[in-house]
Chain A
Amino acid sequence: MIKVTIDDIEVEVEPGTSILNAARQIGGEVVPPAMCYYSKLPGTGGKCRTCLVEVAAGSTADPRPMPKLMASCSTAVMDGMIVKNKTSQRVHDNRGGVVEFLLINHPLDCPVCDQAGECHLQDLGYEHGSAKTRYKEERRTFDPIDIGNKIKLHMNRCILCYRCVHVANQLTDSRVHGVMHRGEHAEISTYIENAVDNDFSGNMIDVCPVGALTDKTFRFKSRVWFLKPMEAECSCTKCSGKAVVWMFGNEIYRVTARKDKYGEVEDIEDKTAWICNECRFDKKDPSAWNITGPRKIDRHSVISQGQYATKIDKGLNKIG
């Protein structure tokens, strides 16, 4: 075990752990945001640059600071490393810069975007974005396309995190879904709008940090914060059958995998509980599910109703 200090908090982690995962072991405020890294998908990370942190001391053996800010998701910790995240103004400024970059071409269509309320870019925008844009030019636009009959791709909203590419790569033998073109013109696509023909393709929607990939069976049906997330199980032969159903009254509006506070699909019995397309898109009848109880959403977002309740409780207590 090696010792690393993040924002003045010391933690012991396994050798080879990334700074981001060490910070997640501490939890709370010291965890850098991550838009592209996804711990369940090998090979992700390093691209969005929102998780940049300052390494004030490389290790006990070589305590020099690292000159550049490092991507915490892809930098391994060293014994005696001192990392600054929240405590570094430089990190705050540069992360703000990255958020600005991510937003210059991102449409301000949150009012009609299905991801609103559970969007990681929205969270980042609140924390780091400024109220006005300095970008005067026309934003780049693409036409929405269908990836199969159940998934809609809004390339305008995409931040090119490559998570869905990694999902598709792991699902299929041949390359069917990837990034085309370069630089500003880069876009996620299937070659000539082919469907990704796989029973688990719907998981692309779950890994998307923004509203670029949306569930066509749920689009425009309801805002997510009006729905009640419930833990549910079904006897599915393809997947674990353990999911979250989002209900309004007695109706199931959408089905997603069970996600943790970092937006990542949870492990159930040591296996990442991806859900199959049949569970996700077709089982909208409550009788198909055994609903076991409310799902606690532990995220800094409007969908964390429980969290809101506690905040209100605390506020009332203070007044009282």
Chain B
Amino acid sequence: MAGRKLLIENVHIPGIETFDVYRKNGGYASVEKALKKMTPEEVVEEVKKSGLRGRGGAGFPTGMKWSFLAKPEGVPRYLVCNADESEPGTFKDRYLMEKVPHLLIEGMITSSYALGANVSYIYIRGEFMYILHILEKAIAEARANGMLGKNIMGSGYDLELVVAPGGGAYICGEETALLESLEGKRGNPRMKPPFPAVKGLWGCPTVVNNVETIAAVVPIVNNGGEEYAKIGIERSTGTKLISAGGNLVRPGVYEIEMGVTVEEFIYGDDYCRGIANGKRMKACIPGGSSVPILPAHLVTKTAAGENRLMTYESLADGGFASGSMLGSGGFIVFDEDQCIVRNTYTFARFYAHESCGQCSPCREGTGWMEKVLHRLENGHGTMEDISLLEEINKKIEGNTICPLGDAAAWPVAAAIRHFREEFEWHVTHPAEAQTRNYGLIQPRVEEIKAL
């Protein structure tokens, strides 16, 4: 049985994108509850109790992030929603905003109240212009119904909500680059410290949260943090939106309870229903393009032979040697016909294109990796190129201002770690590599049982 749904439970209801239908189906109850019955501190406390972790990729505890917010007298504070979803393989925020825009707005009001922000921003990716229109329409409806503006629901709390589109740069999903871009500057990440919680938007204390994180505040306030924490396993609580893509029978956005096994998620009838066209799985990237790729035998089981679960901890089990990360939940599955070298090259090209060019290791390193991978993919590579890639990786990782450098280095490092023989085959069989794919990694392949 598919698990409980907290965020996209009502997407099937016709007209849920309008205020009236949303309100009739229990919408804006969290705003009512928070503003009328709770103090901002109590809302923060509930979020802390819920164990909610940032859904944008890093998985930092949201309650803790909120409690770090500096609160100097007479200085405005800001809540900024990061809707710059541009991670290859991730499309959950787009779905959420498109289908239930009011959920995000409700979450924004409740969260802004908790943080004491009177102006909040939704920074949305420029390519999502049609969603910007959906959100603006929803905001206008919310305002007309007294949910935004002055004295919301007679509580004396004021909030303005502004939707700001970006120019479509991946780097603006990094929180400090996002703030720069929101301020109208070039989207270069800032040096940290100071962190945004102390000096963020226009030098004021700021919290930046992902769309899904803010949406999750709604059920947390409605049902209580403890109730939310009951879902999931250990430190991975609640539900998570997973954007499943690749060679699956039924790709799409799924809301899962944390702790579903990866096997169930890929093969289960309630989820993706297995690999398309009766093929076998070759590899899987469980958390968006930035996280390490896993070969088939490490996807459903950890290196220790335990079942791998859809949680922050279980997916990271084994560290970088045999694990990956939950990341933003961009779940990409590759069947046996996919070429890992080509895929790695595609990602490297993406990161080289999206590097902001501010710090040297990322600017030069991502471009260099792209060129070396281009050679390997097109049959001009040498064995030295593979070790060169590994060395470039090591020199980028950890040496950059923002995590984009790491995000560019990890997928390449992991691909070489797990699929080295495929890279070597591209070197030893340059002509053949142009006409067919390597297929499954032969010596390591284990029969993957479908449920």
Min C-beta distance of B319 to chain A, whole Å: 13
CB of A97 within 8 A of CB of B395, answer: yes
Which of B24-32, B267-275, B327-335, B350-358 contacts its partner? B350-358
Q: How far is the CA of A173 from the CA of B420 in the complex (A)?
A: 54
B388 within 8 A of A: yes
Determine the chain B residues whose CB is within 8 A of the CB of A47 once the complex forms: 358-360, 401
Determine the chain B residues whose CB is within 8 A of the CB of A247 once the complex forms: none
Determine the chain B residues whose CB is within 8 A of the CB of A101 once the complex forms: 360-361, 363-365, 368, 395
A65 within 8 A of B: no
Most buried by B among A69, A97, A185: A97
A201 within 8 A of B: no
Min C-beta distance of B199 to chain A, whole Å: 13
CB of A183 within 8 A of CB of B355, answer: yes
CB of B364 within 8 A of CB of A182, answer: no
B191 within 8 A of A: yes
Known A-B contacts A69-B399, A74-B191, A183-B366; the reply to A48 vs B359 at CB < 8 A is yes
Find B360's partner among A49, A76, A135 (CB 8 Å cutoff).
Answer: A49
Known A-B contacts A137-B371, A182-B355, A183-B367; the reply to A98 vs B191 at CB < 8 A is no
Min C-beta distance of A304 to chain B, whole Å: 26
Which residue of chain A is the closest to B366 with respect to CB atoms? Answer: A183
CB of B357 within 8 A of CB of A179, answer: yes
B439 within 8 A of A: no
CB of B360 within 8 A of CB of A183, answer: no
A134 within 8 A of B: yes
Determine the chain A residues whose CB is within 8 A of the CB of B171 once the complex forms: 182
A interface footprint on B428-440 (CB within 8 Å = 1, 0 otherwise): 0000000000000
A221 within 8 A of B: no
CB of A68 within 8 A of CB of B191, answer: no
A102 within 8 A of B: yes
CB of B357 within 8 A of CB of A181, answer: yes
CB of A186 within 8 A of CB of B395, answer: no
CB of B363 within 8 A of CB of A183, answer: yes
A59 within 8 A of B: no
Determine the chain B residues whose CB is within 8 A of the CB of A186 once the complex forms: 356-358, 363
A160 within 8 A of B: yes
Q: How far is the CA of A134 from the CA of B366 in the complex (A)?
A: 15
Determine the chain B residues whose CB is within 8 A of the CB of A105 once the complex forms: 364
Q: How far is the CA of A182 from the CA of B358 in the complex (A)?
A: 8
Give how many A residues have a beta carbon under 8 Å from the other chain's beta carbons.
36
B376 within 8 A of A: no
CB of B357 within 8 A of CB of A97, answer: no
B15 within 8 A of A: no
Determine the chain A residues whose CB is within 8 A of the CB of B193 once the complex forms: 76
A interface footprint on B386-416 (CB within 8 Å = 1, 0 otherwise): 0010010011001111000000000000000
CB of B352 within 8 A of CB of A98, answer: no
Known A-B contacts A134-B388, A184-B364; the reply to A97 vs B354 at CB < 8 A is no
Q: How far is the CA of A185 from the CA of B352 in the complex (A)?
A: 10
Determine the chain A residues whose CB is within 8 A of the CB of B353 once the complex forms: 182-183
Q: How far is the CA of A50 from the CA of B360 in the complex (A)?
A: 9
Known A-B contacts A97-B361, A135-B368, A183-B366; the reply to A45 vs B399 at CB < 8 A is no
Find B352's partner among A48, A162, A179, A184 (CB 8 Å cutoff).
Answer: A184
CB of A185 within 8 A of CB of B357, answer: yes
Q: How far is the CA of A50 from the CA of B361 in the complex (A)?
A: 10
A interface footprint on B182-196 (CB within 8 Å = 1, 0 otherwise): 000010000101000
Determine the chain A residues whose CB is within 8 A of the CB of B360 once the complex forms: 47-50, 98, 101-102, 159-160
Determine the chain B residues whose CB is within 8 A of the CB of A56 once the complex forms: none
A94 within 8 A of B: yes
Determine the chain B residues whose CB is within 8 A of the CB of A97 once the complex forms: 361, 391, 394-395, 399
Min C-beta distance of B170 to chain A, whole Å: 10
Determine the chain B residues whose CB is within 8 A of the CB of A160 once the complex forms: 357-358, 360, 363
Q: Which residues in chain B, 137-159, are within 8 Å of chain A measured between CB atoms?
A: none
Determine the chain B residues whose CB is within 8 A of the CB of A74 once the complex forms: 191
CB of B399 within 8 A of CB of A182, answer: no
B217 within 8 A of A: no
Known A-B contacts A68-B398, A94-B399; the reply to A49 vs B361 at CB < 8 A is yes
B interface footprint on A241-270 (CB within 8 Å = 1, 0 otherwise): 000000000000000000000000000000
A-B contact pairs, 24 of them (CB 8 A): A46-B401, A48-B360, A49-B359, A49-B399, A52-B399, A67-B398, A68-B399, A71-B401, A76-B193, A97-B394, A97-B399, A101-B363, A101-B365, A101-B395, A102-B360, A104-B368, A134-B388, A135-B368, A137-B371, A159-B360, A179-B186, A183-B362, A183-B367, A184-B352
* Additional pairs, 12, CB under 8 Å, beyond known A67-B398, A183-B354: A47-B360, A47-B401, A49-B399, A49-B400, A94-B395, A98-B360, A136-B375, A162-B358, A179-B357, A182-B353, A182-B354, A182-B357
Chain A residues near B (Cβ < 8 Å): 45-50, 52, 67-69, 71, 74, 76, 94, 97-98, 100-102, 104-105, 134-137, 159-160, 162, 178-179, 181-186
Interface pairs A-B: 5 shortest CB-CB: A97-B395, A186-B357, A183-B355, A101-B364, A184-B367
